[in-house]
Structure 1
Amino acid sequence: MDTCFSRSTKTNLVKKTAVVSEEMTSQIRLRLLPCAKCLFDEPVQVKVAGLRSRQVVTMRARSTDEKGVVFSSSATYKANGNGEVDLERDPSLSGSYIGVEPMGLLWSMSADTLHKLFQKNRSLNPHVVKFSVHELEGEGRMLAEATNERFLIGDGVSRVPVKEGSFHGVLFTPPGEGPFPAVLDLCTFMSEKRACLLANKGFVVLAVSVYNDKLNNVKEMHLDYFKEAVDFLQQQPKVGNKGLGIISRSKAGDVALSLAAFVPGVEAVVWINGCSANAITPLYYKKSKILSPLLIDLSKAIPTDSGAIIGKYCTNNPLAEENQATLVPIEKAKGHFLFVASEDDLNWDSKAFMDQMVERLKRHGKENFESVCYPRAGHLLEPPYGPHCRSSLHGIVGKPVMWGGEPRSHAAAEVHLWKNIQEFLRSHLSCEATKTKAKL
């Protein structure tokens, strides 16, 4: 751009140029490495350079979810002698978390109002996070900022809404010829996040929700509906020829167990913080009732000062004599199980339910399972690096509930579990090419 100045201002030009040059050399930079664009379940390294030696600053993160709710976090950091802050190396001194937590600004984000779950269920739009660094003093003037776009769906992954027969869902298919292992992602309520993130890893994934209707209208559940989804998934041209896996959490967990027990072709089930029995509604298969409902007694809910309830002990005991007909006969399953329980699950006693299933399988001489416990994690175990939710409205109960989990431990559990899930599914699902070759 051309610059015009009068004779009277010319004498100050040298001084002004010197000042600008000095400011440019000490420019503060906020960098996201290796790239400001990444997948949702990938870590980023947050680094700041150009600060004064030992300068204390506030780091912030801010994002808006699909419902328009703003989530944010902040942490105080002290630069090193070179004026640099590196979240992989340096500890937070105060704020939303304390200590060395490279992804702490992400998992510690929370809403200003109580009982808000971060809603990121649609796969086509990225999770956009604004990182910024601010002066600690005064009004906290912003010194630098950077935008992190965290994509759910990777390059080349196809997303196809499916309405086949009586069921509907969303199918995610990786790029390439395949064959790929197949996974049915059973969500209690529809979410595409976990399914498309798994598809990024080389799985053909069909996301199907347990509840599609208003809950007051759901008087019974039919396993046939989910078997249709299993059959549809197995018939996909890029799917390998041996069985499929199921990933589930909460109420979807007992549906997954029932599919493994009653429907052929289920080779691997990931059960996360679910129930050992058929919860809430009777289950039918081929027009016959196969499992009675294990009921919930909300009078046993524990109130909290926040207004949310603790529902951990509301579920009736599935081992009681009157509830024997609710227990899923998992000993009939031919496939393998990965049982995952959070010991601080405040929604229900997942650890006790897991122990019951392990004991049942052992009693029947079965060794087709592995189990994982996370001591300070809560109910809502998700793919990693999303905001931790302490409490939110429960879709079935209709009230805010406490989910449990110490945020730092819960975040670490999500990182560990996500890797474990992929390894488990790969180890038990075949990707043989014979099915594809037979069609040529």
Structure 2
Amino acid sequence: MFAPLSSSMLSHVHLHLLPSASCLFDEPVHVKVTGLRSRQVVTLRARATNERGVVFRSAAIYRADGNGEVDLCRDASLCGSYEGVEPMGLLWSMRAAAPHKYFHWSEAISPHVVRFSVHDSVDVEDEERGVALAEATNVRHLMGEGVTRVVVHLGKYTAVLFTPPGEGQFPGLLDLSTFASEKRASLLANKGFMVLCMPVFYEKAANIKYVELDYFEEALCLLKQHPKVDSDRLGVIGRCKAGDIGLSLVSFVPGVRAMVWINACSANSAVPLHYKGRQILSSLSMDQRKVIPTSDGANIGKFVVGNPEDEENQSSRIPVEKTSAHLLLLASEDDLNFDCKAYMESIVARLRKAGKDNVESVCYPRAGHLLEPPYGPYCHSCVNGFISIINLWGGEPRAHAHAEVLAWRKVEEFLRSRLMLM
């Protein structure tokens, strides 16, 4: 627990969250402290709890200026969870006390709540040390005002449809995730897209023998037939296994204008892919003996999957040459789950060879596999839901956090340019 607030200190020390203490999850917040002594050294802290009850924390030490102010957009952290000028550092540097924890937040109904505080101690380790001079709560919403959420059942799958405010016609977007997650979909709905999100795996991955592309085609049809959707403006987005399913979808099923592929594979991974009652792609070869254990108990899985360019994997390679969709490929250079940069380059080369110019690609140095909407806690390692081992995801925290900001802007820019009516 934090030390109780001093009423005498509360009268002159204030922690400001600008422009408002309430914002959308993907919006930055300006943290500023006023009323301190000139050149006073303080500890700023952030604390949040994920949907599974795991507490995440960060702390950084700052020195006030001559006017007794600390401004995170201007001032450098001296030490702590991060160093240097990092306006959103208290958010992306939050970690759980136990190792290998991911900040799970799968449903969009509840906001992400972060408690900021400023303390008169100079100790980033002991949360109970020192008096809390001021505090403020940042409520970070996933669903903006007027966005609606409806659960949709598609055979074995449970999907969620997010509708922006207004009458439409909206561009329709199918947001695929390897396992159920509504975060990205709800945030894209805030930007004017009608988004249907659904997982690739509807139960434990180990129990699934193959994936049927038909269900994802059905999801596209649902979007296409919705009265508020412009059926000529459909898109798909997915990361990891969901990314290769999305790539398969736009390669085998016509009618999609744009697809965003994030840290995925150029071949069908994990399990065979079926369509209209038959197997259309085998699964990319895997060799679990190539898992590399690390000293902190996590594992590097980057070399487990085979090379899609090898002859033995020809039947798993996704025929991207068939797609007429515009593709945005985003790859993290330090991804330790897939060799995504190589996969990205292979897709680009194959499209160019086929005489197509429907692809953009961006590579982010020192970023890891879990490239997500910005301002959430960076995840170093956690359990891989498919193979049930602890994965090391890669990336340097600061560079990864900055890459998420850039990637998120790129995704919005691409989808607007390809799906929005200008």
Instruction: Please give the TM-score of this superposition, normalised by the length of structure 2.
Output: 0.95
Which of 159, 165, 176 matches 1:175?
Answer: 165
Aligned to 1:74, which of 51, 55, 59?
A: 59
Give the whole-Å Cα distance in 1 for the aligned partners of 2:412 and 2:391.
30
1:167–1:229 CA contact under 8 A, matched in 2: no
| Structure 2 match to 1:219 | 209
| Partner Cα distance (1:75, 1:214) in 2 | 39
Letter in 1 for 2:14: R
Q: CA contact under 8 A between 2:291 and 2:303: conserved in structure 1?
A: yes
The code of the aligned residue for 2:22 comes to K
Choose 236-245 or 406-415, whichever is displaced more. Answer: 236-245
Deviation at 1:216, TM superposition (A): 2.2
Whole-angstrom CA distance in 2 between matches of 1:87 and 1:196: 28
Q: Is the 8 A contact 1:392 1:402 kept in 2?
A: yes
Give 3-state SS (helix, strand or coil) of 1:234's partner: helix
Q: Percent of aligned pairs with the same residue?
A: 60
For the aligned residue pairs, the C-alpha RMSD in angstroms reads 1.5
Quick one: distance in 1 between partners of 2:215 and 2:382? 29
The partner residue of 1:395 within 379, 385, 401 is: 385
Q: Residues 268-307 of structure 1 correspond to what in structure 2 (within 5 A)?
A: 268-307=258-297
- Distance between the aligned counterparts of 1:148 and 1:431, measured in 2? 34
Structure 2: distance between partners of 1:148 and 1:161: 28
Q: Write out aligned runs for 1:6-45 (5 A).
A: 23=8, 27-45=12-30
* Ranges in structure 2 where 5+ consecutive residues have no aligned partner: 1-5, 124-128
2:101 is equivalent to residue 111 of structure 1? no
Output one character per residue of 1:376-406: Cα deviation in whole Å (capped at 9) or x when no partner: 1000000000000000000011010100111
Task: Identify which range, 232-241 or 204-213, moves more after superposition.
Answer: 232-241
State the Cα distance separating 1:167 from its structure 2 match.
3.7
Provide the residue aligned with 2:83 in structure 1: 98
**CA 1:25–1:239 in 2, change beyond 3 Å: closer, same or farther?**
closer
In structure 1, the residue matched to 2:35 is 50
SS in 2 for 1:240: strand
Does residue 157 (structure 1) correspond to residue 116 (structure 2)? The answer is no
Q: What aligned pairs does 1:18-417 form with structure 2 within 5 A after superposition?
A: 23=8, 27-137=12-122, 139-417=129-407
Conserved? CA contact 2:39–2:63, under 8 Å: yes
Q: Is the 8 A contact 2:10 2:133 kept in 1?
A: no
SS in 1 for 2:229: coil
Structure-1 separation of matches of 2:82 and 2:144: 30
Q: 3-state SS of the aligned residue for 2:231?
A: coil
Of residues 373-382 and 423-432 in structure 1, the stretch that sits farther from structure 2 once superposed is 423-432
Distance 2:409 2:161 in 1: 22
User: In 2, distance between residues paired with 1:115 and 1:73?
Assistant: 16
Contact 1:26/1:51 (8 A) holds in 2: no
| Structure 1 residue 24: Cα displacement | 7.1
| TM-score, with structure 1 as normaliser | 0.91
Tell me: CA distance 1:60–1:230, structure 2 relative to 1, closer, same or farther (3 Å): same
Q: 1:6 matched to which residue of 2?
A: none
**Residue type at the aligned position of 2:118:** V
Q: Deviations over 1:125-155 (max 9, x none)?
A: 1100000000125832211110000010010
Runs (4 or more) in structure 1 with deviation over 4 Å come to 23-26
1:431: Cα distance to partner?
Answer: 4.5
Aligned length: 412
Q: CA deviation at 1:297?
A: 1.1
Unaligned runs of 5+ in 1: 1-19, 433-440
Asked if structure 2 preserves the Cα contact closer than 8 Å seen for 1:249 and 1:274, the reply is: yes
How far has the Cα of 1:215 moved from its partner? 1.7
Query: For 1:260 and 1:314, how far apart are their aligned partners in 2?
Result: 26
Asked whether the equivalents of residues 236 and 256 of structure 2 are also in contact (C-alpha less than 8 Å), the reply is yes
**What's the CA shift for 1:430?**
4.9
Structure 1 residue matching 2:28: 3-state secondary structure = coil
Distance change in 2, residues 1:417/1:137 (3 Å): closer
- Would the alpha carbon gap of residues 25 and 245 (structure 1) be closer, same or farther in structure 2, given more than 3 Å must change? closer
- Kindly provide the amino acid, as one letter, of the partner of residue 94 in structure 1: C
Cα distance in 2 for residues equivalent to 1:335 and 1:124: 32
CA distance in structure 1 between the aligned counterparts of 2:286 and 2:156, rounded to whole angstroms = 28
Tell whether the 8 Å contact from 1:249 to 1:272 is kept in structure 2 after alignment. Answer: yes
How many Å apart are 1:295 and its aligned residue? Answer: 2.3
Q: In structure 2, do the counterparts of structure 1 residues 411 and 25 end up closer, same or farther at CA, with 3 Å as the change threshold?
A: closer
> How far apart, CA to CA, are the structure 1 residues paired with 2:304 and 2:9?
62
Q: How much has 1:322 moved relative to structure 2?
A: 1.2
The CA deviation at 1:165 is 4.4
One-letter code of the match for 1:422?
E
**C-alpha distance in 2 between matches for 1:295 and 1:141:** 57
Please tell me whether Structure 1 or Structure 2 has the larger radius of gyration of its CA atoms.
Answer: 1
Question: How far 1:168 sits from its partner (Å)?
Answer: 2.6
Which residue type is aligned with residue 160 of structure 1?
V
CA contact (8 A) 2:172 2:231 kept: no
